[in-house]
Homo-oligomer: A and B are copies of this chain.
Amino acid sequence: MVEEHAPHLDTVFHALGDATRRRMLRDLAQAERTVGQLAEPFAISLAAASKHIKVLENAGMIRREVRGRTHVCRLDPGPLASAHEWLSMYERFWTDRLDALDRLLREEDARNAEKPQGDSHE
């Protein structure tokens, strides 16, 4: 089940890097939606929404079924699971070592705050 999905991570993370598309995913998590329904919350043209949907579709995150003249989209969780799995590689950094690392980082910040370096001469 662990495949070489790295090439897809580019498109998956890129698709997630836009609030409009994340909102679309949120809506699709409730139920399947047509293109028009997905576009409705936004003050953008249908053509723009269509492009967003295509980005999600190319990333494999939604699947489209053409029913008559409407295109019904539903969530495909696979890429979300891949992204989640990739991030899980770093989970130890905010779980096991959270206390130690966080304490070090905060000490560092405290030191830098007390001892500012490279002040401007002007």
Contact = CB atoms under 8 A, between A and B. Distances in A.
Main secondary structure, interface of A, reads helix
Give the interface residue-count category, chain A.
35 or more
Contacts of A101: 77
Contacts of A119: 2-4
Contact of A94 (B16, B63, B77, B91): B77
B121 A94 contact: no
Contacts of A65: 108
A57 interface: no
A30 to B, nearest CB: 11
A102 B110 CA distance: 44
Given A84-B84, A84-B88, A2 B105 contact: no
6 contacts: A13-B13, A29-B90, A77-B90, A77-B97, A84-B84, A84-B90
